[in-house]
């Protein structure tokens, strides 16, 4: 199915109706809007408790509660929720998920995977980001990628799940060594990607592709989806809700 913000709004409406508007502060971020609209397979959220107020466990619990509502609306292939400590004394509450519909959509758009049958992937077996392994193994098995550094397969697989265009995630003339004369890459023009503070859904690509029609179409699609959502009456009304505003400030989602 083609991406549409109506799909995301329907999910958000169920969360708000069942749990209250404040819970949407975890969900109405640009990268999640795109994923729940069906434009990509993967999304994540990261909420830091910089002031050490002991909020992380409560946030994680609220994410779990709202994710349970989401799972009743769409099929989730894989999810991970909890408090993470990426560096000593630095913790965050977060969420990662892969939707079935989004995965089907990105696989229909990419030509980088060959012979991949996601029905053979036991997503429940992956408790962390090892979920990328079956996708990386598919890339490694292809002779056209034989000269690619192994470290690149994770980035390529991840980029596809994020819904990025093939030309942005894999250039078919790999150079394992850094070259200061190599062509610069530029950021995609995804308008609305910074509407709130979150992992921004912005990729980059080689500069010579700046007028490429497939890249331009992708930038337009994502920008349009974000504009459609943030200018919708649903979100405009949500932004006026005091409970939502309070939770957004608590999570650090506002600029």
Residues 108-122, mean pLDDT to the nearest whole number? 95
- The pLDDT of residue 12: 98
- pLDDT reading at 144 higher than 60: yes
pTM exceeding the 0.85 threshold for the entire prediction: yes
Least confident segment among 172-176, 189-193, 207-211: 172-176
Q: Long-range CB contacts (< 8 A, 24+ apart) of 181-190?
A: 183/207, 183/208, 186/210, 188/215, 188/218, 188/219, 188/222, 189/219, 189/223, 190/219, 190/222, 190/223, 190/226
Q: Where are the domains of the chain?
A: 5-242
CA 190-203-80 angle, to 5 degrees, is 105
Tokens read off for 90: 């630095």
- pLDDT reading at 175 higher than 80: no
- The pLDDT of residue 171: 66
- The pLDDT of residue 151: 83
Residue 110's alpha-carbon distances to 72, 99, 104, 106, 187, in angstroms, are 28, 17, 10, 6, 20
Share of the chain above pLDDT 90, in %: 82
Confidence of residue 176 (pLDDT cuts 50, 70, 90): low
- State how far the Cα of 93 lies from the Cα of 83, in Å rounded to an integer: 4
- The pLDDT of residue 183: 82
- State how far the Cα of 26 lies from the Cα of 247, in Å rounded to an integer: 9
Tokens read off for 43: 């999304």
Confidence of residue 180 (pLDDT cuts 50, 70, 90): confident
At residue 95, the 3 state secondary structure works out as: strand
- The pLDDT of residue 170: 80
- Helix, strand, coil proportions of the chain in percent (round to 5)? 50, 15, 35
- The pLDDT of residue 158: 96
Residues 133-152, mean pLDDT to the nearest whole number? 91
Confidence of residue 178 (pLDDT cuts 50, 70, 90): low
- pLDDT reading at 29 higher than 60: yes
- pLDDT reading at 96 higher than 70: yes
């Amino acid at each position: 199915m083609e991406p549409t913000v109506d799909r995301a709004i329907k999910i958000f409406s169920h969360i708000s109706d069942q749990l209250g508007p404040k819970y949407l502060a975890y969900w109405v971020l640009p990268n999640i809007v795109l994923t729940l609209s069906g434009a990509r397979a993967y999304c994540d959220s990261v909420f830091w408790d910089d002031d050490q107020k002991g909020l992380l466990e409560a946030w994680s619990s609220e994410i779990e509660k709202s994710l349970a509502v989401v799972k009743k609306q769409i099929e989730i292939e894989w999810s991970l929720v909890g408090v993470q400590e990426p560096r000593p004394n630095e913790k965050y509450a977060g969420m990662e998920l892969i939707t079935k519909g989004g995965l089907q959509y990105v696989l229909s758009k990419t030509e980088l995977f060959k012979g991949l049958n996601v029905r053979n992937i036991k997503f429940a077996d992956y408790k962390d980001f090892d979920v990328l392994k079956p996708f990386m193994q598919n890339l490694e098995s292809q002779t056209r990628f034989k000269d690619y550094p192994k470290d690149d397969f994770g980035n390529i697989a991840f980029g596809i799940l994020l819904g990025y265009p093939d030309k942005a995630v894999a250039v078919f003339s790999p150079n394992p060594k850094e070259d200061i004369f190599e062509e610069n890459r530029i950021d995609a023009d995804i308008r609305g990607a910074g509407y709130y503070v979150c992992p921004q859904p912005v990729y980059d690509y080689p500069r010579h592709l700046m007028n490429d029609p497939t890249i331009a179409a992708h930038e337009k699609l994502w920008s349009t989806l974000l504009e459609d959502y943030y200018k919708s009456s649903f979100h405009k009304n949500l932004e006026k809700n005091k409970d939502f505003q309070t939770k957004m400030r608590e999570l650090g989602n506002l600029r």
